């Protein structure tokens, strides 16, 4: 056994005890008692240091024993991932212990340096190391998450258990093969943003601005609507906005730490689209399309009337939010409103798109959709809104924006309706 000097032992015990205390504090906080974790961690580190340096002539064996003990303890509390942590912490502690005891910290330094200068030398390195760890840690976390088999950015139970089914290269495959991430504009210029798709211009949205989508997203979030129905997809813009709003509700905390919506209680987005127009077909018809893969949505490819009787009536589906954007004749709007409003829950809301008649007279319509989709586009919805405003049963809120913007369609008008409460 090595005979310890009083000076060296106290020095070693203080620093190793500090290391063990910090580690114990982290573990203690996770178990509801940071103070006890600090005390127990310090005492265990000091005890390990005393035993270790007492047998310093067998340094290699001592370090192996420390690693083995930490691996066993970490595996017991953390499972397979604890093996990695136990080896890492055990190796570092063993190295740190004998680095201090044998004064190896002075080996590469000038012998004339004072204790204060030696202290600052290593303090400066620690500061730089902490900054580096702070910067690099997010990358180290993201790297394993990039192999997640799920679409959600979180460590799944399968990943933590090192189950091969929890890992996948799908995100890398999607990045290198999906044209959404790399394409060219009409002038052949390569860019790396999302490829423009038809839903981008709808509802006043652009590649950088959500337009009326901000209103829809905010209403779903604020009212915590669960069952949301979209008649006509608009190329997928509104179903995407609604699905995103429902997903984000899980990350919103309200009073007393309660979640706005619990997992498994998120409701659903239901899209009804006959797939007989311009919008909807390119972005939603395929089951492996970008929008259907990344934004959960039930797609019913039927006319709105047939879908109402075949699905909503038979399944007794009640609706919290209804977005009408299918056929645009007055008769189409009136039929969809009359049918689906019967399934509306108390406090629910109906939105009707393309209700601003001034839009077509004040703005340039994109050439690829002008002839087929925008002839008398707002006449039916606008006429219906004027009629429903005479009905005192409904509160009507119009959001119109018909001011032209160069090469950037503004909103075609969005109107929200909610039943008045009977006093």
Distance, in Å, from the CA atom of 114 to the CA atom of 118, rounded to the nearest integer, reads: 6
Non-local (6+) Cβ contacts of 288 within 8 A are none
Which helix H or strand E contains 323, and what residues bound it? Answer: strand 319-324
Q: How many CB atoms lie within 10 A of CB 365?
A: 17
Q: Which residue has the tokens 């909807």?
A: 280
Q: Quick check: helix, strand or coil at residue 368?
A: helix
What digits encode the pLDDT tens for the residues 74-87?
A: 787 777 777 888 88
| Phi and psi angles of residue 231, each rounded to the nearest 5 degrees, phi first | -100, 105
**pLDDT recorded at residue 317:** 93
Q: Are 41 and 33 in contact (CB under 8 A)?
A: no
**pLDDT reported for residue 192:** 43
Q: Judging by DSSP bridges, how do beta strands 344-353 and 394-399 pair with one another?
A: unpaired
For helices 379-388 and 330-340, the axis angle rounded to 10 degrees is 50
Instruction: Give the sheet arrangement for strand 319-324, strand by strand.
Output: 298-300, 268-272, 227-231, 319-324, 344-353, 414-419, 394-399
Return d(Cα 414, Cα 212) in angstroms, integer. 7
Question: Cβ distance 230 to 202 under 8 Å?
Answer: no
The contacts of residue 202 (CB under 8 Å, 6+ apart) are 234, 235, 237, 238, 279
Instruction: Quote the pTM value.
Output: 0.52
Residues 6+ apart with CB under 8 A from 188: none
Tokens of 399: 């959001």
CA pseudo-torsion sign 352, 354, 356, 357:
negative
The Cα–Cα gap between 388 and 395 comes to 9
What confidence score (pLDDT) does residue 364 get? 52
Six-digit token string for 40 = 């127990």
State residue 232's pLDDT score: 86
The low-confidence residues of the chain, meaning pLDDT below 70, are 1-8, 151-153, 177-201, 207-208, 234, 250-266, 277-283, 359-376, 401-410, 422-423
pLDDT in tens, 297-315: 888 988 999 999 999 999 9
CA distance 327 to 353: 11
Torsion, Cα 106 108 109 111, to 10 degrees, reads 70
| SS3 call for 153 | coil
C-alpha to C-alpha distance for 259 and 189, rounded to whole angstroms: 45
From the list 399, 380, 411, 403, the residue with the least C-alpha distance to 234 is 411
For residue 356, the SS3 value is coil
Q: What is the per-residue pLDDT for 234?
A: 63
Contact yes or no for 203/353 (Cβ under 8 A) = yes
Question: Where do the domains of the chain lie?
Answer: 6-108, 201-419
- The answer to whether the beta carbons of residues 321 and 220 sit under 8 Å apart is yes
**Residue 86 to residue 76: CA distance in whole angstroms:** 11
Into which CATH architecture does domain 201-419 fall? 3-Layer(aba) Sandwich (3.40)
Pairing relation of β-strands 414-419 and 344-353?
A: antiparallel
Round to whole Å and give the CA distance between 310 and 304: 10
Structure tokens at 72: 């066993």
Beta pairing class for 227-231 and 268-272? parallel
């Amino acid at each position: 056994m090595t005979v310890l000097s009083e000076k060296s032992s106290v020095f070693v015990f203080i620093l190793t005890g500090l290391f063990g205390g910090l580690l114990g504090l982290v573990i203690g906080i996770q178990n509801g008692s940071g103070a006890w974790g600090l005390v127990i961690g310090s005492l265990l580190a000091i005890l390990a240091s005393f035993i270790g340096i007492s047998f310093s002539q067998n340094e290699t064996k001592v370090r192996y024993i420390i690693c083995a003990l930490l691996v066993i303890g970490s595996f017991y509390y953390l499972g397979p991932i604890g093996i990695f942590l136990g080896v890492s912490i055990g190796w570092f502690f063993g190295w740190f212990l004998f680095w201090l005891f044998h004064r190896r910290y002075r080996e590469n330094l000038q012998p004339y340096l004072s204790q204060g200068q030696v202290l600052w030398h290593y303090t400066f390195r620690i500061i730089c190391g902490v900054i580096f760890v702070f910067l690099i840690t997010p990358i180290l976390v993201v790297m394993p998450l990039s192999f997640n088999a799920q679409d959600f950015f979180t460590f799944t139970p399968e990943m933590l258990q090192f189950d091969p089914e929890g890992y996948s290269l799908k995100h890398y495959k999607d990045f290198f093969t999906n044209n959404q991430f790399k394409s060219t504009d009409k002038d052949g210029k390569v860019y790396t943003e999302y490829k423009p798709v038809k839903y981008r211009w709808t509802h006043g949205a652009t590649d950088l601005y959500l337009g009326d989508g901000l209103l829809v997203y905010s209403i779903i979030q604020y009212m915590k609507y669960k069952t949301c129905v979209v008649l006509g997809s608009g190329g997928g813009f509104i179903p995407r906005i609604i699905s995103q709003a429902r997903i984000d509700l899980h990350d919103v905390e309200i009073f007393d730490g309660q979640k706005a919506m619990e997992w498994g209680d998120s409701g659903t987005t239901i899209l009804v689209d006959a797939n007989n127009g311009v919008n909807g077909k390119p972005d939603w018809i395929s089951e492996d399309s970008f929008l259907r893969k990344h934004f959960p949505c039930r797609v019913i490819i039927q006319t709105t009337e047939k879908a109402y009787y075949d699905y909503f009536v038979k399944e007794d589906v009640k609706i919290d939010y209804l977005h009408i954007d299918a056929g645009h004749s007055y008769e189409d709007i009136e039929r969809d409103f009359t049918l689906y409003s019967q399934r509306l829950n108390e406090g629910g809301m109906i939105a009707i798109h393309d209700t601003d008649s001034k839009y077509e007279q004040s703005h340039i319509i994109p050439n690829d959709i002008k002839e087929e989709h925008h002839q008398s586009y707002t006449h039916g919805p606008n006429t219906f809104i004027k009629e429903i405003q005479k009905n005192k049963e409904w509160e009507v809120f119009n959001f119109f924006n018909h001011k032209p913007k160069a090469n950037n369609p503004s909103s075609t008008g969005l109107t929200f309706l909610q039943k008045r409460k009977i006093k």
